[in-house]
Structure 1
């Protein structure tokens, strides 16, 4: 691929000769890795025209760089970045370093400090990756997705794919969500009560900003989804953790004076417990009596293996107090980053306005591709394939956990894609996780899930979305062996 002429710029007001400026730019590009061996430079004629200089200026600069092995000349083909570059620069060629601008007065690193630091980005190099929320290429129908993307790129779809929707969403996708996705959770909603988001994380952020930007108290489950705590830490809210039990969030433990309660009622994150219907009714009664909003993160409702799932809180909500958040990250693939919020129309209008200030709307191409993926039946076929695979993996992992004597800590035997386990007394799960990496095993220590991080030291999560059933038993066996060694 040739280097474009736009990659170069000369300052005609500088005291440095133009030829020297050009040489330094090419050398800097090589040193910084922007220009790579074998890449062709623009022709001397084209570059001279772009830079507004005589062609001889460019020719002489190139000749100097050929002499120092930065470039090689090829007859009738032009100039290329050399394959034999000596990266030890002559002093004359070093570009003077300006005094760096200080960002200390502008940045306090608040967002970096709140961000999780325990995620392993190269998880695929582990043979036994018990990590949550990653995709298994054997279960994702990429060929169907490719066909839908090609369909979305057709001329008939030109307007919804390329246009600026001015904050609106693809009507075909909204219609499918309203008529086919939400009824599976017992939810009825109009188009003006649905907003597309860039995943559930974006939906939680919108809800938190709308409800809590000016402060107030909110309750979260403890343990809970770490990303939620990151979001809330940047609002003006006081976060009130409520310890969960085997049945999820206990409504009677919710403190007074709240503006919002965040819950994962169907599959509590990370314990997988399911809130029974009577508790859901009690929570909704409290919301109406005390005037707090309920934000329901229904992140994994599709993964239920024991009959029909319990109705969503939103389905039972007659007063309109629930903001429901769903996502296609688990059911299609995580990199899609598309989700939705369902709430009272006034809430949706405010969330749409806030979303518009930040990102206008999710990409039209993704929206229309997903609409086709759903409407053509690929989504249901993939869901069925995932459910079968996850049910098998769950059964294999459950047996392996019991066979090797690992200690369960959570409820929720009806679904989800992970197990919540406890370490032996006194053993830090972070230490366990570090030791397991030497045995090609990756787990998730429990510390990030708790308000009091010390409490999380006794827990860890094993997920099976990205590991085949054939490897689960051996992976669990390795965990058991390392646990025994650490205890000794």
Structure 2
């Protein structure tokens, strides 16, 4: 009986993807087998015909087929080529008619207590990397990252000894990563701690969320900065806290404006989000004194301190905390890459023990392989070299941004004293930066409107954050010129 040969046009490649063609071919073949589109015993297209159909080298197809033979999805037969394997080891999913889902959103509308999709947040265009002038914040320049070193650390982390340690299901933090935090990261911020006072989290945002969840099990009166990090305010609102926002100035949060009865203060003292203001030493001491006098705790978000290329960053608030009233949230995501999602929470042992239990109910612990890879990358010195290169590059980019802004009507309204990766910019009166941001996308320019950082219903519209961590230095002058031109055009329209 003649064998059925699968037609080449069943398979296709996504040429917009960065993923290797060989990988895509393997995945398409496996998909056709699991969906029973390619039945056992069927002949695959010859490597020559499939290569011609896909427009790739014949060797690319041959290597993909050979790997599928090793995996057991295909088998070879003399003079016949490659066949779909006849084995029960390959589960097959039935492929048939799929019923159209019935719209039943009203049921969920009545159950859900809040529309989180409508919350205020900073939104970046999904294709921002493809745009020529991406002044986005919190993103990395992949050209600065040592991918070869990261790949080698990932290879080490998947070794037999490390794999045996990671394969279990214990809610543990990687001891190598914790050791690096205790011996290198925290001392740089003037903080001393032990292993029972550190919890690995899925980024600093997760650390702050855990703190908020613990604090709001009872009614909580909390204070946030205004403007401030939107997700902190939203998380507190979601968890039912009674929130007061305090306006910051060029020196950060004024402690004397914290109302009596406050139980928790959420603050970014070393590098205020988004203005970059640094809380003065006098204010830090006064904030801690008030915490003692009025019996409240402080949650410190200490992001981006590594980007200090102008002057050393101020010691963390946690470093001068004598009464164990500060919970400290740190992160590797800003310095390594945002998709890493590794951070840590530092606080009294009792609090960290509770946070560890809460974390175990949500996700057990951050992925072990990711923790161990990051630990190797840090311990082997790659992180320190990366920070050095980033500081050098960002110093040049900041200087280029400041110089370009000096030729415009735009005003630098806030900037981190020690460096950082962004500037807080104010437009002339009457400019709505949300409209400005939309118009600038037509020119390939990405900025972050400032309104989501403000609380209340009447947020100032004339501010925006200008990030320079992921834009090439030679693109900055023209990008700023385009921003200025749009602002000038908007002003003329209002006359």
Give the conservation status (yes or no) of the 8 Å contact 2:196–2:352.
yes
Q: Mean Cα displacement is larger for which, 254-263 or 319-328?
A: 254-263
Counterpart of 2:442 in structure 1 is 438
Of 398, 404, 407 in structure 2, the residue corresponding to residue 403 of structure 1 is: 407
Is 1:174 the counterpart of 2:208? The answer is: no
Is 1:386 the counterpart of 2:382? The answer is: no
Listed as ranges, the gaps of 5+ residues in structure 2 are 1-5, 7-29, 43-79, 85-95
Partner of 1:268, secondary structure, is coil
Partner of 2:423, secondary structure, is strand
Of 297, 301, 304 in structure 1, the residue corresponding to residue 305 of structure 2 is: 301
Task: Report the alpha carbon displacement of residue 37 of structure 1 after superposing the two structures with TM.
Answer: 12
Counterpart of 1:119 in structure 2 is 124
Of 11, 36, 43 in structure 1, the residue corresponding to residue 39 of structure 2 is: 43
Q: Mean Cα displacement is larger for which, 144-153 or 232-241?
A: 232-241
Counterpart of 1:343 in structure 2 is 347
1:403-482 correspondence runs (5 A): 403-482=407-486
Partner of 1:138, secondary structure, is helix
Of 114, 119, 139 in structure 2, the residue corresponding to residue 134 of structure 1 is: 139
Partner of 2:199, secondary structure, is strand
The 1:106–1:45 alpha-carbon spacing in structure 2 relative to 1, beyond 3 Å, is farther
Distance 2:220 2:130 in 1: 44
Give the conservation status (yes or no) of the 8 Å contact 1:246–1:411.
no
1:8-30 CA distances to partner (integer Å, 9 max, x unpaired)?
xxxxxxxxxxxxxxxxxxxxxxx
The 1:394–1:100 alpha-carbon spacing in structure 2 relative to 1, beyond 3 Å, is closer
Count of aligned residue pairs for this structure pair: 414
Task: Report the alpha carbon displacement of residue 243 of structure 1 after superposing the two structures with TM.
Answer: 0.2
Task: Report the alpha carbon displacement of residue 42 of structure 1 after superposing the two structures with TM.
Answer: 4.3
Distance 2:353 2:98 in 1: 53
Partner of 1:408, secondary structure, is strand
Task: Report the alpha carbon displacement of residue 96 of structure 1 after superposing the two structures with TM.
Answer: 5.6
The 1:235–1:308 alpha-carbon spacing in structure 2 relative to 1, beyond 3 Å, is same
The 1:133–1:277 alpha-carbon spacing in structure 2 relative to 1, beyond 3 Å, is same
Partner of 1:353, secondary structure, is helix
Task: Report the alpha carbon displacement of residue 121 of structure 1 after superposing the two structures with TM.
Answer: 2.1
Distance 2:337 2:445 in 1: 23
Distance 1:118 1:291 in 2: 37
Is 1:151 the counterpart of 2:147? The answer is: no
Counterpart of 1:327 in structure 2 is 331
The 1:267–1:327 alpha-carbon spacing in structure 2 relative to 1, beyond 3 Å, is same
Give the conservation status (yes or no) of the 8 Å contact 2:33–2:39.
no
Q: Mean Cα displacement is larger for which, 117-126 or 306-315?
A: 117-126
1:344-402 CA distances to partner (integer Å, 9 max, x unpaired)?
00110010000000000001001111110111000100000001111111111111111
Counterpart of 1:160 in structure 2 is 165
Partner of 2:263, secondary structure, is strand
1:268-299 CA distances to partner (integer Å, 9 max, x unpaired)?
00000111111100000111111111000001
Task: Report the alpha carbon displacement of residue 108 of structure 1 after superposing the two structures with TM.
Answer: 4.1
The 1:143–1:132 alpha-carbon spacing in structure 2 relative to 1, beyond 3 Å, is same
1:119-146 CA distances to partner (integer Å, 9 max, x unpaired)?
3222112210101001101111111110
**TM-score w.r.t. length of structure 2:** 0.79
Q: Mean Cα displacement is larger for which, 236-245 or 152-161?
A: 152-161
Counterpart of 1:246 in structure 2 is 250
Listed as ranges, the gaps of 5+ residues in structure 1 are 4-33, 47-74, 80-92
Task: Report the alpha carbon displacement of residue 105 of structure 1 after superposing the two structures with TM.
Answer: 3.6
